[in-house]
Structure 1
């Protein structure tokens, strides 16, 4: 995972890069027009990001959220960081305002993160790698939504995955942290994002309405469907059954996402979540998983409105693979 650019590369191929003389760069936007998308698809960042997502997808296959896994010190520190963000929500209640959506108190909460991001990240990154803090902290700030529009979407989620990918590349997170990255850190991140979305009534960023998979998230559906591959009793057709969801949501990320949708939306599931309803007709979780990976590339990673906000530094570089 660390420094690997080969999608789905195995642990044996893990390459540890030395960062002693490395020049870290504060990430910036590079995709400014639709024709720049080709640059992104050929970039080292794209290869590394997709490789990271697929490696974790393989790592969680067939495993429950409640299974045993190692919790290293950096994983503990990341959880504490997310707990801090959660506490700040409690300390920043919504304000009274005429418009129903986009509560302005979110901006107060976000300003606190903007001020404190580097301090928070420095609790995860050891002193000898402190020069990596400004670069990685940018991805944390990008991962919680947009303070101007008070919205959140799959581009922000991708920034959090990029943040974790950078921590792997500099060797803070290791290959044997894989399960904890998804089941402990990413799951906690999702809890905090759901709380943000509910508390401040955040708008979905770039939502495709009923034609999108979900208003806010995508990755937990990919990793969550991988968890369910070869499940002895749960088939894709059962996630539309609320009883099944309520029984198993604590073990499977996919079902936790469905539970949140059921909590937030009223009316027929087939109407408000048409894409997911269609997916429930697929006969095997392995097919669901493959289909979601393809859909993620097409609907998120290859869409200019999402990728125009992605930022590139030295760890997730815009340079073409191998250049």
Structure 2
């Protein structure tokens, strides 16, 4: 029986839960209902403890000290990348970060702020755009994509060894050795003559972008080095702002294709994985760029990742969906159990909120973590202090 909600009903104040009778009554207006009243709470059965729904946009594991930092942090803003001009003073980049104080120094420096601003600018460049949307592709972008395709071909030329261990196929070291030996010539393929001396600074970033050959692992620190390599090339003027969409839709997508193949063929171990409470075993940036692609999409919402038809039909156009499809491919069992953070994010109402939350999370969980950033490099293009 339909019941009208009477705000001023005196009975609503007297009996929040009416006594159980043969004919149930509404707790507000006292009229009969078709539903039995809920049992009263007692000390034996107290009311449930509710947590705020999606308060920080990204819910981290319980008792994680980073959670409050992410909630309170401002959303990072895009910045223009300043170009370097001659005379150049390129140098071999070095590691400088060893403590939380070093992290703080980097975060407060112009270099630290500008590098994160570059990541945000890349995210904004792909906002509401599919991979197939037209974009400006410069000769430098084409050359970088060609270089990454070369690295993919090398995997086919260096097959994995038959070995008992689950992780760390030793053939990866042969692939990485070839990368190290060829990296300078690969850089010279797209560097103009007046910037050939930049190889001394670019090569270490580049060779550190594809994993560690000693540990045979890969993680968000290596991915951040690739972003740093792109940032350095941007500072040299080889990548301009009109290229940013292609940097994500062509270069980064090709880089992700390469890394997925390296991970699967050589069984790279996740470096610094957070286990089930991590966003992903290996990557972070594709989730940022991918969520930006889906901002203001008319039909697809964050919860759409649970629709297999959407994953099957649109993973080739949207990076976030491609990442979810890959996770579901390589991990067995219930999605909410092996990827609780991604499952939690699917409940966020808008892609814009997902994107801003992930940007804040990247700053706190990657750029402010000593175990990750202790491997980050500093030279003349990304200055220390």
Q: TM tier, shorter chain?
A: over 0.9
Larger RCO (alpha carbons 8 Å, 6+ apart): 1
Q: Is residue 9 from structure 1 mapped to residue 79 from structure 2 by the alignment?
A: yes
Whole-Å separation in 2 of the counterparts to 1:59 and 1:277: 26
Aligned equivalent of 1:3: none
Instruction: Check conservation: 1:152, 1:204, Cα contact below 8 A.
Output: yes
In structure 1, stretches of 5+ residues that fail to align are: 1-5
3-state DSSP of counterpart to 1:25:
coil
Report the Cα offset of residue 15 of structure 1.
Answer: 4.4
Answering whether residue 174 of structure 2 is matched by residue 108 of structure 1, we say: yes
Structure 1 residue 45, shift from structure 2 partner: 2.8
Cα displacement string for residues 131-155 of structure 1 (whole angstroms, at most 9, x for unaligned residues)? 1112011111010001111110000
Partner residue of 2:280 out of 214, 224, 231: 214
Gaps of 5+ in 2: 1-75
Q: Is the 8 A contact 1:7 1:47 kept in 2?
A: no
Report the Cα distance in structure 1 between the residues aligned to 2:254 and 2:310, rounded to whole angstroms.
Answer: 22
CA contact (8 A) 1:117 1:141 kept: yes
Among 227, 231, 239, the residue aligned to 1:173? 239
User: Does the 8 Å contact 1:220/1:253 carry over to 2?
Assistant: yes
Does the 8 A contact of 1:92 with 1:109 survive in 2?
Answer: yes
2: CA distance between counterparts of 1:284 and 1:33?
36
Distance in 1 of aligned mates of 2:110 and 2:356:
23
Q: How far has the Cα of 1:214 moved from its partner?
A: 0.4
- Partners of 2:160 and 2:321 in 1: CA distance: 29
Correspondence for 1:201 among 243, 267, 279:
267
* TM-score, length-scaled by structure 1: 0.93
Secondary structure of the equivalent of 1:206?
coil
Counterpart of 2:148 (choices 68, 79, 82) is 82
| Counterparts of residues 118-129 of structure 1 (less than 5 Å) | 118-129=184-195
> For residue 183 of structure 2, what is the aligned residue in structure 1?
117
Conserved 8 A contact 1:225-1:286 = yes
SS at match of 1:86: helix
SS of aligned partner of 1:148: coil
Q: Note if contact 2:272-2:372 (Cα within 8 Å) is conserved in structure 1.
A: yes
| Separation (CA, whole Å) in 1 of partners of 2:322 and 2:202 | 28
CA contact (8 A) 1:139 1:159 kept: yes
The TM-score, its normalising length taken from structure 2, stands at 0.79
Residue 53 of structure 1 is matched in structure 2 by 119
Q: Which runs of 4+ in 1 moved over 3 A?
A: 14-17
- Shift of residue 240 of structure 1? 2.1
Asked if 2 retains the 8 angstrom alpha-carbon contact of 1:48 and 1:316, the reply is no
Q: Would the aligned equivalents of 2:83 and 2:234 in 1 still touch at CA under 8 Å?
A: no
Displacement of 1:39 in angstroms is 1.9
Q: C-alpha distance in 1, partners of 2:308/2:272?
A: 28
Distance in 1 between the 2:83 and 2:187 partners?
A: 21
How far apart are the structure 2 equivalents of 1:171 and 1:17? 8
Equivalent residue, structure 2, for 1:291: 357
Task: Give 1:7 shift.
Answer: 4.5
**Contact map agreement 2:92 2:379 (CA 8 A) in 1:** yes
**What does 1:23-62 align with in structure 2 at a 5 Å threshold?**
23-62=89-128
Structure 2 counterparts to residues 138-177 of structure 1, below 5 A: 138-177=204-243
CA distance in 2 between partners of 1:35 and 1:284 (Å): 35
Return the alpha-carbon distance in structure 2 between the equivalents of residues 28 and 303 of structure 1: 18
What is the CA RMSD across the aligned residues, in angstroms? 1.3
- CA distances 1:293-318 after superposition (whole Å, capped 9, x unpaired): 11111111111111011011110111
